[in-house]
Structure 1
């Protein structure tokens, strides 16, 4: 099975999503039982979203306007949804968050300044995150 669901995306609902859900929740439960959840940031993210409407092959294309991300542990408040899309799941209407914002959030949570610059292959200083700002409101 593949997460690349350009056609026949029913396999996601039947096979991949339940398997992911079981594994992710088992990891969170295990970390919590061992007392490690508060010091561990668990991130599950896709590199893009999928088109809100299915195509003629009952699949979905790439949709970079919205993307999925699930965060747990390290002080993340459980049971919240951050941001909101329009009624068609096409565009963000509340708290739009860029991949750069998410990266800055992860770095900051790990104790790394998202404004830090590191040398590239030629020794020039380059921002680790270009233009992102850490997300407020998910920690508590």
Structure 2
């Protein structure tokens, strides 16, 4: 996956370009329990913000762990005396991506 690029150019002259963009991007997934030939989600008219079927990185991690047979809610690590989850508290398995 790639974090994406802004839908508009920034800067001027030789420094003009498109910056990193995390609010709307594409990802190609294949194999291992992932449904093929589909598109999930949509962005606004400018391609700037995801507005439909938004998937966050914690959701992607939860889904990847699920197809590997790991319960993401049970996968924790301790840091400075506190238990954390790779998928945070809001990560969810994205069922439409599963075969």
TM range (shorter): 0.7 to 0.9
1:94 pairs with 2:30:
no
Structure possessing the higher radius of gyration over alpha carbons: 1
Where structure 2 has 5 or more consecutive residues not aligned to the other structure, the ranges are none
Q: Distance in 1 between matches of 2:16 and 2:72?
A: 40
Q: Distance in 1 between matches of 2:26 and 2:78?
A: 29
Higher helix share: 1
Question: Structure 1 length as normaliser, TM-score?
Answer: 0.60
1:133 aligned partner: 92
Q: How does 1:84-123 map to 2 (within 5 A)?
A: 84-122=42-80
Give the length in aligned residue pairs: 95
- Aligned residues of 1:116 and 1:128 also touching (Cα < 8 A): no
**1:12-38, Cα deviation, whole Å (9 max, x unpaired):** xxxxxxxxxxxxxxxxxxxxxxxxxxx
1:50 pairs with 2:5:
yes
User: Relative contact order, CA 8 A, sep 6+: which one is greater?
Assistant: 2
RMSD over aligned Cα, in angstroms?
Answer: 1.8
Where structure 1 has 5 or more consecutive residues not aligned to the other structure, the ranges are 1-44
